[in-house]
Amino acid sequence: MQYSPLVRRISGEGTDAWVVHYAARAALERGEDVILLSVGDPDLDTPAPALERAIESLRAGDTHYTPVMGRQHLREAIAATHRARTGQAVDVSNVIFLAGAQNALFVTSMCIAAHGDEVIALEPLYPSYPATLEVSGARMVRVPSPAALGFRVDLNALEAAITPRTRALFFATPNNPSGVILSTADLAVIGDLARRHSLWVVADEVYAGLAPAGRVPSLAAELPEQVVTICSLSKSHSMPGWRAGWLVGPPQLVVYAEAMAQCMLFGLPGFIQEAAATALSVSEAAESRVREYCAVRRDFLLAGLASIRGIHCLVPDAGMFLLLDVRGTGLSGYDFMCELYRTERVSVLDGGAFGDETRGFVRVCFATDEKLLTLAIVRIRRFVDSLVR
């Protein structure tokens, strides 16, 4: 039997990097002595008001069909949050609620690019980006943010990558895995390029709530007809399993996105929407909690790893990850990941999953219990010392 060419476009890249993570998760479920630092799932409970609202809603029978774009009061809450963060004047016509930021990225890529088009993505980038951005038939063009520049965007390389086929520019700010936040100066250049070449600008701001004061520089108010902002509650509110995300963009894009969602989702569960609306109503406290939690553990991990000869930590601007440069050990990021798990049962993620610039790195999630981080530091030190010797 034959399959559509689509199955090749969505097969994804960097799958080898997840082998250790899945093995570690299975071992953890068996009760084995494993430390899991390979996934961005904050070790915090969902805010209690959101959880209680979901339970209340379920008990009240909120298990029926809902509007495809999301309930009015939820979209109003998302619009208000976006206005406060970016200064862009938006209302419900600019908002659609979707099944997490990943789903919002998928819908956006399908609506703004097609076969023969090119879309630029700043690298390092999350491993699902290639399949997500090329699902429409467009070709993803990687523009590196080099390790030599601290993973800051190379604006000259970005401009050189634009061709008559370029339709969009995708980036995450703060970046996953580097934690780098695009500066106002970076965005000024990107905005100028977008104007001159009539490009869509798609900003993945899933980690924005973890940035200082819970916001990052944005082009949304400056280019309202060209900018699409992707966000969710997964990281900022410790709600990854709720699949509560959205896109904010021009009203016509939202109309097209609704048609996509009609085919794919036919609306999302009402009790999740009620929880999401409640979560947004307590955002200040919820985001402050996650920011403080991550900041304390970031500094703790940096201090613990700083004196280990053979590795070097990149200090993130925000987020819940740090990149560990392991080139001084003589191992690739992939081999470091595999051997660290084999010998010390600590699971991290090979930086090569995020692109060529991070091949000599591993990504470490620090959004977990300090006792586990303390033990992880001991084990990483022991492992690296054995290599250096």
Can you give the CATH number for the domain in which 219 is found? 3.40.640.10
Determine the pLDDT at residue 65: 96
CA dihedral 229, 348, 46, 104 (to 10 degrees): 20
Nearest to 109 by CA among 228, 214, 219, 225: 228
Could you tell me if 275 and 293 lie in one domain? no
In the chain, the number of structural domains is: 2
Residue 1 lies in a domain: no
Could you tell me if 229 and 374 lie in one domain? no
| Segments forming the whole domain that contains residue 134 | 61-281
Determine the pLDDT at residue 9: 78
Give Cα separations from 297 to 13, 208, 321 (angstroms).
30, 18, 10
Residue 53 lies in a domain: no
Q: Which residues contact 226 (CB under 8 A, 6 or more apart)?
A: 194, 195, 198, 199, 200, 201, 219, 250
**Which of 281, 306, 335 is the last residue before a domain boundary?**
281
Could you tell me if 165 and 65 lie in one domain? yes
Could you tell me if 240 and 289 lie in one domain? no
Q: Give me the DSSP letters along 288-328.
A: HHHHHHHHHHHHHHHHHHTT-TT-EEEPPSSSSEEEEE-GG
Return d(Cα 179, Cα 361) in angstroms, integer: 14
Q: Which residues contact 19 (CB under 8 A, 6 or more apart)?
A: none
Determine the pLDDT at residue 47: 97
Q: Are 324 and 348 in contact (CB under 8 A)?
A: yes
Could you tell me if 269 and 291 lie in one domain? no
Return d(Cα 374, Cα 153) in angstroms, integer: 33
**Which of 249, 264, 281 is the last residue before a domain boundary?**
281
Q: Which residues of 139-149 are buried (b: 16+ CB within 10 A; e: fewer)?
A: ebbbbbbebee
Return d(Cα 285, Cα 264) in angstroms, integer: 33
Residue 50 lies in a domain: no
Could you tell me if 268 and 291 lie in one domain? no
Return d(Cα 164, Cα 203) in angstroms, integer: 21
Residue 56 lies in a domain: no
Could you tell me if 304 and 341 lie in one domain? yes
Determine the pLDDT at residue 3: 87
CATH number at residue 355: 3.90.1150.10
Could you tell me if 242 and 176 lie in one domain? yes
Could you tell me if 173 and 241 lie in one domain? yes
Q: Give me the DSSP letters along 268-287.
A: --HHHHHHHHHHHHTHHHHH
Return d(Cα 318, Cα 175) in angstroms, integer: 8
Residue 55 lies in a domain: no
Q: Give me the DSSP letters along 179-207.
A: -PPPPHHHHHHHHHHHHHHT-EEEEE-TT
What is the pLDDT tens value at each position of the chain, 389 positions in all? 988 888 877 776 656 778 889 999 999 999 999 999 998 888 899 999 999 999 999 999 999 999 999 999 999 999 999 999 999 999 999 999 999 999 999 999 999 999 999 999 999 999 889 999 999 999 999 999 999 999 999 999 999 999 999 999 999 999 999 999 999 999 999 999 999 999 999 999 999 999 999 999 999 999 999 999 999 999 999 999 999 999 999 999 999 999 999 999 999 999 999 999 999 999 999 999 999 999 999 999 999 999 999 999 999 999 999 999 999 999 999 999 999 999 999 999 999 999 999 999 999 999 999 999 999 999 999 999 998 76
Residue 251 lies in a domain: yes
Joined together, the tokens standing for residue 172 give 């995450």
Could you tell me if 207 and 345 lie in one domain? no
Could you tell me if 254 and 343 lie in one domain? no
What is the model's pTM? 0.93
Could you tell me if 194 and 328 lie in one domain? no
Joined together, the tokens standing for residue 331 give 């191992």
Return d(Cα 52, Cα 275) in angstroms, integer: 8
Q: Running DSSP on this structure, what letter comes out for residue 47?
A: P
Determine the pLDDT at residue 12: 63
**Which of 251, 281, 311 is the last residue before a domain boundary?**
281
Nearest to 104 by CA among 265, 320, 277: 265
